[in-house]
Copies of this chain bind each other. A is one copy, B any other.
Amino acid sequence: MYNHVPKNYECPICLAVAGVENEDTMIKQDDIFYRDDLVMALINSKFVGNNPGHAIVVPLKHYENLYDLPEKEANKIIKVAKAVAIAMKRVRKCDGVMIQQNNEPASEQHAFHYHMHIFPRFNDDGLLNKLSDVRVSKSEERRIFAAALREHFMPM
């Protein structure tokens, strides 16, 4: 319900799930640091403010937003988000973790496949005033963050 996906949308997250790297997706397979039968976690292509290298958790199947997300996927997403948050504390030595999840264009949802953002937070990083300060990262930058999280990800 309340869907906004354009006709013939090439979903960048579905492409990544399928292992495809091409011009329709910014995601590289090296960005992915966790995957199971329902969801995967990866470093977001876009970096925000002074908080580069934040993660997203996504269902493998295509659901556009929270309104459509089935219970099985939802449960796994919050479980993995918790594990990502704890891994981020260890790997990034961050002072806090912020979860954000946007539904529909009015809420700045750009990729029309459900994704939960997990940001490392640092004292006085000013992120709340920099959420529009977004840049496309280089895959080399993301790979380092992904490798560190992959190594410290705890079995659930």
Which A residues are within 8 Å of any B CB, using their own CB?
1-2, 66-67, 69, 71, 74-75, 77-79, 81-82, 85-86, 89, 94-109, 116, 119, 121-125, 128-129, 131-132
Contacts and interface: CB of A to CB of B under 8 A. Distances in A.
20 contacts: A1-B89, A67-B85, A67-B89, A74-B75, A74-B78, A75-B78, A77-B78, A78-B78, A95-B107, A97-B103, A97-B107, A98-B102, A98-B107, A99-B99, A99-B100, A100-B100, A106-B123, A106-B124, A128-B132, A129-B129
A106 B82 contact: no
This protein's copies in its complex: 2
A110 to B, nearest CB: 12
